[in-house]
Each structure stands twice: as C-alpha cells, then as structure tokens.
Structure 1
Amino acid sequence: MSIRNTQINLSRRGLLKFSAGAIGTGVLTVGLSSNLLAAEKKAPAAPAEDEINPDKALQELLDGNDRFVKSKRRNPHQTRSRLVEVAKGQKPFASVLGCADSRVPSEIVFDQGLGDLFVCRVAGNIATPEEIGSLEFGSLVLGTKVIMVVGHEKCGAVDAAIKGAQVPGQIGSLLEAIKPSVESSKGKSGDRLENACKANILAQIEKLKSSTVLSELIKAEKLKIVGGYYDLDTGRISLVN
C-alpha cells in the first residue's frame, strides 16, 4: 500500500471518529429541516413509541399523575432490563421544564421511569437560554412530543420575587426573570402567589414558543407545549391555560 493510500485511509478513519463523536454529543451542524429528518430516521425507539403523537404524550403524563394522586403507581420502566435497554439509546416521549423544588420530582409525580422523560429543572421553572437549548435538543433530536412547563403551589422563587427579596450571588437572576409575571398578575382576584406562579408558567411557555426550533415543530404538529400547576397538598397537576 502506498503512503498516499495510507494517508487517505487514516483520514477516512479520522472523519468517521469525528462524525461518531459529533453525533454522540448531539452537535447540530445542519439546517432545521435536515435535523428533523435525521432525528426521525436515527433516533432509537421501540415501535410503540414511534406511534405516539403530542396529544397521546400529554395524556400519558396526565394519566401517570392521576395514578400518583390515587396511590396506584405502576413504577414503569424501572427494571434492570429497562436499564440495559436505554443504555443503548434514548427516546423519551415527553419533556418537562420544572422547578428545582425537591418536592416535585418529575418521574415520580408523573409515574414514569428510565428513558421516559427529558427533564430540565431550575428554581422558578424559568426558560433560560440553556434550558431552551436543552429542550430544543430533547424535542428535535430525541423526539419528545410534548413539553410541559410545571410550576407549583407556594413556589419560593416566585414568592421572593413578589416580596422583592434582597438575595446574594446569582439568585437575583432568577427573581429578575420572574418579576414580569409578578407584575402581569397584579390586581387579579384570588391568591396573589398562586396567580403569579401561574402567570410565570404561561410566560415561560411563550419564551419556549419564541424558539424557531420549537415553533417549527409545533407548526409541523410534532410538538405541543403546555403548562401544569402542581398542588403540593394533593400531588395533582392541573393544566394552566
């Protein structure tokens, strides 16, 4: 074999290694339409999961929460075989943008298991650029069919924003992101904190919908974005419109 042929083969090997690494880390280097096709063709999934649509995905979340509330959890997809299965690849059916509050763990309150949910959690369930990017990846590349923004009763971050709390470090950045919702909910009848929490959920939904990636998926009827409000006392999640 000539030196030139050896160099070509080595270059090809290097290209293959680079491509594999890029795919493995979710590097998106082509246009939106190409990504949509790639996501559909390459994402690993069980046949039943391929058939799910946004409405069915939302209903699965609500059904799981209903089981949780009624103490009838099935604890699905939590076996050793499921662990081995999803180690080979993931195709979660839903994404959740939730508060980091320790009392609202998504997999538990929706009665789901390994590989079912793509979860982003941050205090105040705010849609930061990083959270939006993560959810774009979850929907475009992994194929989640619904994104639920989940706020909750007595949210400490929203309460602090209402009170104008003086906080150290980067905590203030969270409160600044919530303040517009506090303002927009002023004057409404009912509990002020609950009103602000729900307004914040709706505000974060609008931020997500401003993403060109997510908006294109919504237009193509491949994605739905909804809001949910979690009751700490009952465990019930109600839709917020």
Structure 2
Amino acid sequence: MTQQLTPADAWLRLQEGNARFVAADASHPNQDASRRAALVDRQNPFAVIFGCSDSRLAAEIIFDLGLGDAFVVRTAGQVIDDAVLGSLEYSVAVLGVPLIVVLGHDSCGAVTATMNTIETGDMPVGFIRDLVERITPSVLAARRAGVTDVNSTVVEHTRQTAHRLVDSSRVIADAIEAGATAVIGVSYRLDEGKAVLVSGFGAVEN
C-alpha cells in the first residue's frame, strides 16, 4: 500500500496537479495498463473530491489525476444527502483518505436556480425543488453578508457546505479532531481553470 499522505501533503499534490492543468502541461499520471492492473484488488486514494455534477467540473482532469488517485462524489450544486454522507464516511473510515475537498464552481446552475427561486418565489418542479431547498440556506447566508452575484454566492455555498458536512458527520468530525483528515472548500474558476481554497477544517498547511 502507498504511504499515507497527511492532509497538507494531499492538498499540495492537488494544487500541483491543478497548476499543471492551468498551464496546459498536464502529465496524465496513473492512466496506463500497469496502473489499471495494480488497482484490481485494492485502492488507496489520497483525496476525496465532493463536487458539483456540472460537466465543466471533471475532478480528475482539473487536478491532473489518474486511476485510484481520488474518490469522487458528485451531485448538482454539491448538495449533501444521506448517500453523500455515507460515501464520504466510507472514504474516511474504510479507505483512510486524508483530505475531503468540497468543490464548487463559477456559474453554477443549481445555485443560480436557487437565487431565481428566492427572487421570484417560483419553485421548480420535481426533485429539482429538493436541490433548491437544500441550497437556499447558503444563498440566504450570502445575502445577509451583502453578496448578490452568482459566483460569490457559489463561494459562500461552498463554505457553508463544508461546514454542514463537518457538523453532520461525527465520523468526519472525529477524524479531523484526530488530525487524520481535513475538509476544505475549494472554488473552481471556469475561465482560468484554477482551484482556489476558500475555507478549511483541519490542517492543510505544512
């Protein structure tokens, strides 16, 4: 098994991969046949990326990762539900992953839909309504802080989601307290491809 990284080491590795992606110098690591064969009976991802389902936010690409590097969970607007919590707790308790990244992005459709609902009072149909209801507290928190544009609201939603994740999961909170895991909020800028740290729980600096 690969030597376990610290939360700070894991974040540094993601930053390095994102820098390569931004510079159009991606190395596309761990994507060959030997890597595929080595992962048949085991996995040891060094990070969890819980991000939005948006097609422009492909986690393994923007962080220049390969097979077995990241445990990825995605929902529209990075909305937390029981399945998400179970998946993230599995990554920490069973796989021992040292870093959870909550990944938001510019021009998020789910956040935009929520902002529109708050402005107009018109609720969307079907299960889209559930997404909007779960994002609403973040949008309201942003507005209380005087934030009204979508991209800044996404940053606030990313911060709120990271906080909500730690509050909701005793497994994850205990791992943070023990220094085994950190949870960070990261906002992705679509135009430049850069992933920017916006919040954190646990040590992510050496």
Shorter-chain TM-score above 0.5: yes
In the alignment, what sits opposite 1:33?
none
How do 1:144-155 residues align onto structure 2 when only pairs under 5 Å count? 144-155=97-108
* Greater fraction of residues in strand: 2
What's the C-alpha RMSD, in Å, of the aligned pairs? 1.2
Q: Compute the displacement of 1:128 (Å).
A: 1.4
Determine which of 163, 169, 172 is the counterpart of 1:206: 163
CA distance in 2, matches of 1:122, 1:133: 14
CA distance in 2, matches of 1:122, 1:225: 17
Structure 1 segments unaligned to the other structure (5+ residues): 1-44
- Residue 74 of structure 2 aligns with an amino acid whose one-letter code is R
- Residue 197 of structure 1 aligns with an amino acid whose one-letter code is V
- Residue 88 of structure 1 aligns with an amino acid whose one-letter code is D
CA distance in 2, matches of 1:167, 1:203: 22
In the alignment, what sits opposite 2:202?
none
**Higher-Rg member (1/2):** 1
Structure 2 segments unaligned to the other structure (5+ residues): 200-206
* Cα deviation digits, residues 95-154 of structure 1 (max 9, x gap): 011000000000000000000000000000112121111001011111111001000000
**Normalized against structure 2, the TM-score is what?**
0.91
CA distance in 2, matches of 1:190, 1:171: 24
Determine which of 224, 234, 241 is the counterpart of 2:182: 224
Q: Which has the higher contact order (CA 8 A, sep 6+)?
A: 2
Q: Compute the displacement of 1:65 (Å).
A: 0.6
How do 1:1-241 residues align onto structure 2 when only pairs under 5 Å count? 45-46=1-2, 49-50=3-4, 52-164=5-117, 165-186=122-143, 188=145, 192-210=149-167, 211-241=169-199
**Normalized against structure 1, the TM-score is what?**
0.78
- Residue 163 of structure 2 aligns with an amino acid whose one-letter code is E
Identical-residue share of aligned pairs (%): 36
* Greater fraction of residues in helix: 1
Figure out how many residues of one structure are paired with residues of the other and give that number: 194
Are the equivalent residues in 1 in contact too, given 2:103–2:185 (CA < 8 A)?
yes
- Secondary structure of the structure 2 residue equivalent to 1:87: coil
Q: Compute the displacement of 1:187 (Å).
A: 5.1
